């Protein structure tokens, strides 16, 4: 399943995205998923919870794909 997620600023941290996009129910679940190497950013396993995600990046977790978009990119 692929969806887009629009960020309000320049970036969103990976752990916050997992919660905001509904891919993880809690911050603890998001943290564990990242630490266990279950999340990829642009096809590469990401272990940093605070990884800054920007417009156009692709996050994959648990058969869900989220593409980051920003309002500024569509102007």
The model's pTM is 0.90
Q: What is the pLDDT of residues 12-36, one digit of tens each?
A: 999 999 999 999 999 999 999 999 9
Using a pLDDT cut of 70, give the percent of the chain over it: 96
Is residue 62 within 8 A of residue 38, CB to CB? The reply is: yes
What does the pLDDT read at residue 72? Answer: 72
Cβ partners under 8 Å of residue 28, min gap 6 = none
Does the structural domain 2-74 have CATH classification 3.10.290.10? yes
H helical segments located in the chain: 14-20, 27-35
């Amino acid at each position: 399943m692929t969806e887009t997620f629009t960020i309000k600023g320049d970036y969103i941290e990976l752990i916050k995205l997992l919660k905001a996009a509904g891919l993880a129910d809690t911050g603890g679940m998001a943290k564990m998923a990242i630490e266990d190497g279950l999340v990829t950013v642009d096809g590469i396993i990401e272990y940093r919870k605070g990884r800054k995600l920007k417009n156009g990046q692709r996050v994959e977790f648990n058969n869900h794909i989220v593409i980051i978009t920003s309002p500024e990119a569509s102007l």
